[in-house]
Amino acid sequence: MSDFGHRLSTSMSLKHILQDRRLAEPLLQEIEKTAAEISRTVRIMEVCGTHTVAIRGSGIHSLLPENVLMISGPGCPVCVTPTSYIDNALQLLETSDTTVASFGDMLKVPGSDGRNLAGYMGGGRVRIVYSPAELLSIAEGTSGSVVFLAIGFETTIPTVAAAFLQARRAGLSNLYLYTAFKTIPPALRALLSSPDRQLDGFLLPGHVSVIIGVQPYRFLEEPGGVPGVIAGFEPLDLLQGILAVLRQTGRGEQRVENTYTRAVRTQGNPKAREIMNQVFEPADALWRGFGEIQASGLVLKGDYREADAALHFSLPPLYNLEPPGCACAQVLQGRLPPTECPLFGSSCTPEAPIGPCMVSSEGTCAASFRYGEAVL
């Protein structure tokens, strides 16, 4: 019986197996061998913010060969939300009796003048939600309007859609969505279209892929594409994903490969997509660090447009504005490591963040501050 099979038979939990250092050693050796056969630096972007934290938290970034460089991408929804979105949320609080509901990470993101939503927590008009399902009770218990700051990728969007439909069925008309949803495949296209791109492959997001499946990434297999490997989040998951990208690179291949088969099905989750598509439709969206990307966002469909907070409250259009000295835009594009931002670790820390990459628990700067960067 193989060592892996023996560990399974001794009733070790799957999580413990996927974190077993002894099982990681053969993968690291194979990564070392495969990388040595590639006579150049291989730059792999982990698109997902959870991957970023997992890679650095587990120390994988420091165990890779010198010619394998992991780069963080735009996979943190808080980080790619423009500063002006926060400004508009603050405007809602200051010019109306609206209650603003939000995921916790958004509350510390500074607006263009340095203020944030956390400053309004004491008045009861800013509510933290841990799940969109909480929106129903918040709307029921509030006499005025409730605006949910609807940010997130394909992982979050179906749950927001389900909560919104539940509120509609309950006859609640005071719940509005201020949408800043983003979808991952258009962002990957934007990264590939950059004339000076320096990317050799993508570690594709596991959570998003649970929803969308494999097909939306197939454009990576077309001319001009790069290897794309869907990976999980435990150390062995990540090492398998990195090894798969290196093997494709060494063979001159560019395929979409799923190494997270215990969670990601080829077709994804059709039911989740059905709910999402019932409520939302594609629209151009403004990304921090990228500008406007066509059809990369989702907005409420015509039947539900009356619940669009941007329209109902006549909020100004979004624009990108970076704080002086903040390099979040370059970090999100994988062009600059966080440690090269002039504000990193000095005037910008998780306790006193200036840019969103230091605010979010999935932000690249926050992960680098906590776990450090690999020395290559």
Tell me the residue length of the chain.
376
Range from 17-26, 61-70, 329-338 carrying the lowest mean pLDDT: 17-26
Lowest-confidence region among 83-92, 96-105, 206-215, 353-362? 353-362
In a domain, 287, yes or no: yes
53 domain-assigned:
no
pLDDT at position 372? 78
Instruction: With a cut of 60, say whether residue 52 has pLDDT above it.
Output: yes
Q: Range of 352's domain?
A: 77-199+261-376
- Residues 111-150, buried b or exposed e (16+ Cβ, 10 A)? beeeebbbebeeeebbbebeebeebbebbeebeebbbbbb
- Mean pLDDT to the nearest integer, 1-22: 57
pLDDT of residue 4: 45
β partners of residue 178? 149
Q: What is the pLDDT of residues 163-178, one digit of tens each?
A: 999 999 999 999 999 9
Phi first, then psi: give them for residue 183, nearest 5 degrees.
-120, 140
Residue 201 has pLDDT above 90, yes or no: yes
186-212: average pLDDT: 93
Query: Coil, helix or strand for 51?
Result: helix
For residues 5 and 9, give the distance between their C-alpha atoms in angstroms, rounded to a whole number. Answer: 6
**Among 188-192, 283-287, 323-327, where is mean pLDDT lowest?**
323-327
Q: Is the pLDDT of residue 361 over 90?
A: no
Quick check: is 171 in a domain? yes
Cα dihedral across residues 20, 23, 25, 27: positive or negative: negative
Tell me the H-state helices in 141-199: 157-169, 184-193
Does residue 131 sit within a domain? yes
Residue 193 lies in a domain: yes
> In the prediction, which pLDDT does 14 show?
63
Residue 104 lies in a domain: yes
- Residues 87-116, mean pLDDT to the nearest whole number: 93
At residue 10 the predicted structure's pLDDT band, cuts being 50, 70 and 90, is very low
Residue 38 included in any domain: no
| pTM, full prediction | 0.91
- Looking at residue 18, its pLDDT comes to 66
- Say what the pLDDT of residue 9 is: 43
362 within domain boundaries: yes
Provide the pLDDT for residue 335. Answer: 87
Phi, psi of 284 (to 5 degrees): -65, 145
- pLDDT of 5 strictly over 50: no
Q: What's the rounded mean pLDDT across residues 146-169?
A: 97
Average pLDDT estimate for 214-229: 97
> How many domains does the chain divide into?
1
Q: Indicate the average pLDDT of the chain.
A: 91
Q: How far apart are CA 344 and CA 273, in angstroms?
A: 38
- Domain of 309, CATH number, reads 3.40.50.11740
Q: Is the pLDDT of residue 29 over 50?
A: yes
Mean pLDDT of 343-364: 90
